Amino acid sequence: MRYSRMLIPTLKEDPTEAEVVSHKLMLRAGMIRKLAAGIYSYLPLAKRTFNKVEQIIREEMNRAGAQEVTLPSVQPSDIWQESGRWDIYGKELLRFKDRNDRDFCLGPTHEEVITDLVRREIKSYRQLPLILYQIQTKFRDEIRPRFGLMRGREFTMKDAYSFDIDEGGAEESYNRMFQAYNRIFERCGLEFRAAEADSGAIGGSFSHEFMVMADSGESAIVSCYSCNYAANVEKAEARHSNLTFQEKESALPKEVQKVHTPDRKTVEDVTGFLKVNPKDLVKTLVYETDKGAVAVLVRGDHEINEVKLKNLLGCNYLNLAQDEIIREITHAPIGFAGPVGLRTKIVADNAVSEMSNFITGGNEKDIHLINVNIRDFKVDIFADLRIVTKDDPCPRCNGKLRFSRGIEVGHVFKLGTKYSEALGATFLDAHGKEQLIVMGCYGIGVGRTVAAAIEQNHDDNGILFPIPIAPFRILILPVNMNQKEVKDASEDIYLSLSERGYDVLFDDREESPGIKFKDADLIGIPIRLTISSRTLKNGMMELKLRKTGEVIMVKKEDVVAEVGRRLNGE
């Protein structure tokens, strides 16, 4: 492709609207243009890169036995009401009415649609297992779309759905998709981790997020130096230390005492005043939920993980209680709540069960209690309810944990029978008995994958595209198209590489070398062939690798072979 015939409107300066690197560089490289908040047009360079990511996805989905379909973007409210998500999905679901005043939405995801299709077509166990996928535009009306393609409202997504006769089959389909995702992101040339994750609004029993490692990532990932364990912070497990009998015996309970703590409300204030460590205090936080108020206990140096708490309680709504609710339950102002004497449901983090003679609020103004023990109040449930810390050991092997940042580009879910039960997706088993289909769900954000690749691969001059997803793999850059020997040599090498099926961009513009070199670095083509009268005098061409900056002088007759060797080595 000739540069002069392409729409590549590069920009010299960073756009003021862009906050993250990928957004800045995709705008500057002429890959995207904004139409409205969170809605972008994809220009030729972006489209070429998207197509390459999509081709890798298709090849690996097909290899895993999945079949491609296309489902409607516009979805009727009826099936969302059947699943129960019409009222709980939130304002991200863009709803509208047709001319007959019937409710519809613009699909943010397709669990309902695909389940409706399968319940109509699948009747027998002989038709299962089945995996269907599509690559399609989705729309989620994000309250604060930002970061370009990282969190847009309209985006391209690959979503796949598996259907099996039982949990064993569903596990096999999940593992097949899990392995396919690993191959997809490896082939895209990305550094990534598969992290255990919460299933969120999609639902289901188990899930993994595929995270591209980048310092600019929105998500915190916890992983182990010693084993393959990885999870996002919402899901990361806090290992129960399990005190020995001797450790428990060494902390004999003492008598509870009231202490005056005037206007000391925070952990720092109270522990500083009493000259104790925060881990010797138990915080009591009151939450409002759709299932009633609950008091939650956590050690003073720990923080509550609200995702874990919400999952434990099985509630749809969870918020820290308002001041008046706290006073009504504790009979004390904020900062003095404690579990002793509370007449509401109490849940506590596992670490609290191993504490003795600790400090809590006294449910009176300016009062705290010391020497409190579990015997002094009733805990309804002990569970892992906190955010892990750098001091926690790995929950799998007891190794050391590390914290890093990542960008979610894919998510795989074990859905179980959540949607098949709600929508009545059943089949007849070998004995003629009706059974619920067991489902899985698997998504990849195509635009997010491209943006994440740029976040992970860039320098001060522009993008460093991994070879497999670069819009072009080779850039031919003649220094001066007005010099006949340069023009002819450039045309010859362009023809030779193109005839061999290589993906080539020929910068045939009559621009200054400085502009061409800057644009070349900005758009990030992996291999650049610079052709000038100076090098041609010696029968040579300059080959530069964008990622490493390595420059190799190659004989003119060896250029095609050298390019092939570099690309095959990738």
Alpha carbon 2 to chain centroid distance? 36
- The predicted pLDDT at position 346 comes to 98
**pLDDT band for position 241 (50/70/90)?**
low
Q: Encoding tokens for residue 190? A: 């990305």
Q: Which residue in 124, 118, 126, 200 sits closest to 413, CA to CA?
A: 200
Question: For 314-341, what is each residue's pLDDT tens digit?
Answer: 998 899 999 999 999 999 999 999 999 9
DSSP-assigned letter for residue 71: -
Helix (H) or strand (E) holding 567: helix 559-569
**pLDDT band for position 270 (50/70/90)?**
very high
* Distance set, CA 29 to CA 172, 234, 241, 519, 526 (Å): 42, 35, 52, 8, 15
β-strand 230-232 against 219-224: which pairing, if any?
Answer: antiparallel
Average pLDDT rounded to a whole number, residues 385-408: 93
Residues of the chain with CATH 3.90.960.10: 245-383
Which positions ≥6 away from 492 have C-beta within 8 Å?
none
* pLDDT at residue 210 tops 60: yes
- The predicted pLDDT at position 316 comes to 87
- The predicted pLDDT at position 244 comes to 44
Least confident span in 76-85, 197-206, 315-324, 371-380: 197-206
- The predicted pLDDT at position 228 comes to 86
Higher-confidence position of 206 and 433: 433
Q: Encoding tokens for residue 434? A: 């009706």
H helices, E strands: number in the chain: 15, 31
* pLDDT at residue 245 tops 50: no
* Distance set, CA 54 to CA 137, 156, 185 (Å): 13, 10, 11
Residues of the chain with CATH 3.30.930.10: 3-237+402-455
**pLDDT band for position 202 (50/70/90)?**
very low
Q: Is residue 281 within 8 Å of 358, Cβ to Cβ?
A: yes
Residues of the chain with CATH 3.40.50.800: 472-569
Average pLDDT rounded to a whole number, residues 96-101: 97
Rounded to whole angstroms, the Cα distance separating 471 from 477 reads 16
- The predicted pLDDT at position 207 comes to 87
* pLDDT at residue 308 tops 90: yes
Rounded to whole angstroms, the Cα distance separating 484 from 333 reads 85
Q: Which residue in 473, 461, 459, 480 sits closest to 518, CA to CA?
A: 461
Average pLDDT rounded to a whole number, residues 356-378: 97
Sequence-ordered strand ranges (E) for 50-153: 67-68, 74-76, 94-97, 103-106, 130-139
Place of tokens 């291999």: 527
* pLDDT at residue 250 tops 70: no
**pLDDT band for position 218 (50/70/90)?**
confident
Average pLDDT rounded to a whole number, residues 329-357: 95
% of the chain exceeding 90 in pLDDT: 90
- State phi, psi for 569 to the nearest 5 degrees: -75, -30
- The predicted pLDDT at position 570 comes to 58
% of the chain exceeding 70 in pLDDT: 96
Per DSSP, helices labelled H in 275-319 are: 306-313
* pLDDT at residue 463 tops 60: yes
Average pLDDT rounded to a whole number, residues 241-251: 52
Please give the mean pLDDT across all residues of the chain. 94
- The predicted pLDDT at position 343 comes to 93
Average pLDDT rounded to a whole number, residues 65-85: 97
The upper half-sphere exposure of residue 211, i.e. CA atoms within 13 Å in the direction of its Cβ, equals 28
Q: Is residue 157 within 8 Å of 135, Cβ to Cβ?
A: yes
Q: Is residue 287 within 8 Å of 322, Cβ to Cβ?
A: no
Question: For 497-512, what is each residue's pLDDT tens digit?
Answer: 999 999 999 999 999 9
* pLDDT at residue 293 tops 90: yes
| Correct CATH for 245-383 of 3.40.630.30, 3.20.20.70, 3.20.20.30, 3.90.960.10 | 3.90.960.10
Q: Which superfamily does 3-237+402-455 belong to?
A: Bira Bifunctional Protein; Domain 2 (3.30.930.10)
Per DSSP, helices labelled H in 357-509 are: 418-423, 446-456, 484-499
* pLDDT at residue 249 tops 80: no
Higher-confidence position of 135 and 200: 135
SS3 of residue 517 by DSSP = helix
Fold classified for 472-569? Rossmann fold (3.40.50)
* pLDDT at residue 246 tops 50: no
- The predicted pLDDT at position 65 comes to 97
Q: Encoding tokens for residue 260? A: 């005056």
